[in-house]
Structure 1
Amino acid sequence: MTIRRATPDIRTADMAASREFYQRLGFEEVMDLGWVVTMASPTNPTAQVLLVGPEAEPPQPDMSVEVEDVDTVHAAMVAAGADIVYPLRDEPWGVRRFFVRDPSATIVNVVGHR
């Protein structure tokens, strides 16, 4: 299994203030769906922070891991009896993903691009 990137998913009540904060750190906005904004390094695009606003539907993940083959990872998690808290699905913005709870109760968004 190939991991392409791992990013924190930061919950924010003030998207504008959070966006400005990460811009001052050197990140630039690369995606804005309104309820979620991706900030990335202009020199290393896999260095990212996801800002998740209060409009996001629960459950909300604590981190995202982009993998090469999300279906293979999903099958491995199901076979291991992992707690899938958001079922595998294709999202309208072009990703296939599921959420899984790790042993410490962290919710991980496992995602692949279609």
Structure 2
Amino acid sequence: MAVKRIKPNVQSDNFDASRAFYTDVIGLEEQRGLDWILFFGTDQREVQLSVMKLDVKAHLHPDVSIEVDDVDEVHARAVAAGAEIVYPLTDEDWGLRRFFLRDPNGAVINVTQHR
């Protein structure tokens, strides 16, 4: 199992201000998103930041997304370690298999794998 990228998720109810800030001030490019999540980055896939309303399916905000190449293995290790799963392992309509767990500090981590 390998980690492919780690991406912070900023919660926002003001997408217009976020667009202006992350493109005009920071210099990132807006990339294709959904009505509840915006993506900003560069031509390097590993450089990405998400700005989102409350997660549309999990109904809570993940602080960080970690993309892996085997989400089932990470899920099994999380369960074996007794980690708190706050959103179950799910195949999402937008092409991700993912689950959310809480880290020891209380942060919600979205572990994902592209299908």
TM normalised by structure 1 equals 0.92
Identity of aligned residues (%): 44
CA contact (8 A) 2:8 2:50 kept: yes
Runs of 4+ in 1 over 6 A off after TM superposition: none
Taking the TM superposition and a 5 Å limit, the aligned residue runs for 1:28-107 are: 28-42=29-43, 44-54=44-54, 56=56, 58-107=59-108
Partner of 1:105: helix, strand, or coil?
A: coil
User: Which residue identity is paired with 1:8?
Assistant: P
Partner of 2:35: helix, strand, or coil?
A: coil
Instruction: Provide Cα deviations, 1:46-92, integer angstroms capped at 9, x if missing partner.
Output: 11101012574522101100001111111110111100000000000
Q: Which moved more, 1:77-86 or 1:22-31?
A: 22-31
RMSD in angstroms over aligned alpha carbons?
1.4
Consecutive unaligned residues in structure 2, runs of 5 or more = none
Instruction: Provide Cα deviations, 1:3-23, integer angstroms capped at 9, x if missing partner.
Output: 111011100110111022111
CA contact (8 A) 2:30 2:38 kept: yes
TM normalised by structure 2 equals 0.91
Consecutive unaligned residues in structure 1, runs of 5 or more = none
How far apart are the structure 1 equivalents of 2:51 and 2:92?
A: 18
User: Which residue identity is paired with 2:41?
Assistant: A
How far apart are the structure 2 equivalents of 1:87 and 1:109?
A: 10
